[in-house]
């Protein structure tokens, strides 16, 4: 475990992206990249788009998750026509099962089976009512149409009751180990009143890790034997990490396998975490690097894992976790973790060398309500906004500046 120290911190920021590979006292001219966002698919527009992903099958199709309970599929072409035409279709429609009455409820996550090309399985994360609960289900595509799901094929993998209508988490993804990872928030309301974040006997406030490779009506999933709390009487064996408030979006770095999470804060601090096996990320004892509530004089403990970074309300109010960029369009961003804020629309690039942060740069103030980032099969990123559009980063200009190293 990492020993946690509470230190005053300020977020890295700036409006320029520069590389500083300087040796000695030599002066170099370094390109500074100016970025903005542009609409990626002008003729595609849907209300409350919450996620975008691909199936990993080489088809070139993208899948849009709509909070209302539909998934839309379309080819990844810049010149695609409106979704009124055949090239854009409804892949799945479970609006009759999804409860999206709350701002944070609805169809929230989508993940394709690593063997999707052969088995046609995919998984969704949605909220249901009576009683209020989060549902993880598997569906399969129809036999005669690979771009249409079989709505009758649902196999409910896991359900958990939700005490309130917020902090549902929502993300699901397969890790490089082939297991399914699931993010659940603390159950909602204000300040985690039930103390779920620090309670390993509940699945709330956690990242789960389960094996769905042999799911059936008899056995929905199994628990990997190397999960950190297997065999303990006072902990759920499905838990991979805990102490999270609302891990809305997370992702795995394709090259390093690191699991990055944007954990939405209470009312003062947002944080980015790199998730470790068995890690306790502090909520509701900590918010970011700070004791929660701040009236507590000390909360230092060896059991807590420190965030990679935090930022306060001067920068935003709801972090949207993103991806480590592994595309080819922006070589200067390669290996940077791209993330943003829902409230301010700021988008940052964080460089991490495996031990510590090298730098964090503000790429653009998009003025968007960023609900999520998405990634296509080539590793290129998209920005989803509650103005009903899909955006992407754009390089406006490249200028040369003289960089003088400090003595």
The predicted-structure confidence for 271-298, as pLDDT tens digits, reads as follows: 999 999 999 999 999 999 999 998 887 8
- 23 or 155, which is more confident: 155
Alpha-carbon distances, residue 19 vs 261, 348, 361 (angstroms): 25, 15, 11
pLDDT given for residue 143 in this prediction: 87
CATH number at residue 343: 2.120.10.30
- Indicate whether 97 belongs to any domain: yes
In a domain, 20, yes or no: no
Range of the domain at 216: 41-350+366-393
- Which residue from 238, 215, 234 is spatially nearest to 226, judged by alpha carbons? 238
Say what percent of the chain tops pLDDT 70. 87
Q: For residues 240 and 258, give the distance between their C-alpha atoms in angstroms, rounded to a whole number.
A: 14
pLDDT of 398: 56
CA distance 141 to 330: 34
Check: CB of residue 103 under 8 Å from CB of residue 93.
no
Q: Between these two residues, 143 and 176, which has the higher pLDDT value?
A: 176
Query: Is 105 inside any structural domain?
Result: yes
pLDDT computed for residue 297 by the predictor: 79
Q: Give the pLDDT mean for 140-164.
A: 94
pLDDT band, very low/low/confident/very high, at 81 (cuts 50, 70, 90): low
| 395 pLDDT more than 70 | yes
Each residue of 35-68: pLDDT tens digit? Answer: 999 999 998 999 999 999 999 999 999 999 999 9
Tell me, yes or no, whether 403 lies in a domain: no
Q: Using 50, 70 and 90 to split pLDDT, how confident is the model at 399?
A: very low
Any domain includes 241: yes
What does pTM read for this prediction?
0.90
Q: What is the pLDDT of residues 308-360, one digit of tens each?
A: 999 999 999 999 999 999 999 999 999 999 999 999 999 999 999 999 999 99
Q: Over the range 165-174, which residues count as b (16 or more CB within 10 Å of their CB) and which as e? A: bbbbbbbbbb
Is residue 84 in a domain?
Answer: yes
Q: Convert the pLDDT of each residue in 36-45 to its tens digit.
A: 999 999 989 9
Does 327 map to a domain?
yes
- Classify residue 326: in a domain, yes or no: yes
pLDDT for the residue 195: 96
User: Structural domain tally of the chain?
Assistant: 1
């Amino acid at each position: 475990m990492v020993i946690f120290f509470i230190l005053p911190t300020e977020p890295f920021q700036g409006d320029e992206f520069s590389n500083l590979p300087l040796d000695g006292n030599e002066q170099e001219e370094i390109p500074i990249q100016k970025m903005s966002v542009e609409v990626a698919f002008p003729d595609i527009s849907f209300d409350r788009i919450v996620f975008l992903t691909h199936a990993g099958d080489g088809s070139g199709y993208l899948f849009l998750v709509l909070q209302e309970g539909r998934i839309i599929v379309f080819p990844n072409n810049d010149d695609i026509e409106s979704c009124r035409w055949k090239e854009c279709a409804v892949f799945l429609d479970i609006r009759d099962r999804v409860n999206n009455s709350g701002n944070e409820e609805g169809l929230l996550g989508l993940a394709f089976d690593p063997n999707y090309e052969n088995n046609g399985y995919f998984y969704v994360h949605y909220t249901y009512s009576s009683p209020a609960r989060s549902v993880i289900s598997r569906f399969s595509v129809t036999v005669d149409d690979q771009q249409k799901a079989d709505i009758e094929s649902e196999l409910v993998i896991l359900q958990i009751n939700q005490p309130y209508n917020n902090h549902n988490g929502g993300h699901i993804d397969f890790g490089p180990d082939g297991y399914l990872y699931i993010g659940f928030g603390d159950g909602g309301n204000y300040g985690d009143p039930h103390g779920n974040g620090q309670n390993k006997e509940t699945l709330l406030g956690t990242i789960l890790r389960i094996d769905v490779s042999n799911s059936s009506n008899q056995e929905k999933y199994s628990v990997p034997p190397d999960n950190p709390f297997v065999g303990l009487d006072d902990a759920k064996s499905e838990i991979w990490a805990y102490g999270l408030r609302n891990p809305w979006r997370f992702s795995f770095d394709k090259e390093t396998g690191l699991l990055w999470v944007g954990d939405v804060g209470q009312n003062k601090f947002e944080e980015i975490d790199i998730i470790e096996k068995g890690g306790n990320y502090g909520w509701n004892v900590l918010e970011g690097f700070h004791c929660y509530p701040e009236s507590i004089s000390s909360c230092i403990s060896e059991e807590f894992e420190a965030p990679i970074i935090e930022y306060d309300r001067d920068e935003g109010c709801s972090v949207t976790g993103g991806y480590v960029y592994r595309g080819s369009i922006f070589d200067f961003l390669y290996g940077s973790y791209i993330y943003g804020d829902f409230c301010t629309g700021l988008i940052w690039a964080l460089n991490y060398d495996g031990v510590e942060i090298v730098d964090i740069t503000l790429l653009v103030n998009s003025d968007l309500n960023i609900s999520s980032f998405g990634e296509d099969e080539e590793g290129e990123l998209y920005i989803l906004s509650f103005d009903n559009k899909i955006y992407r980063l754009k390089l406006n200009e490249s200028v040369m500046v003289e960089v003088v190293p400090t003595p």
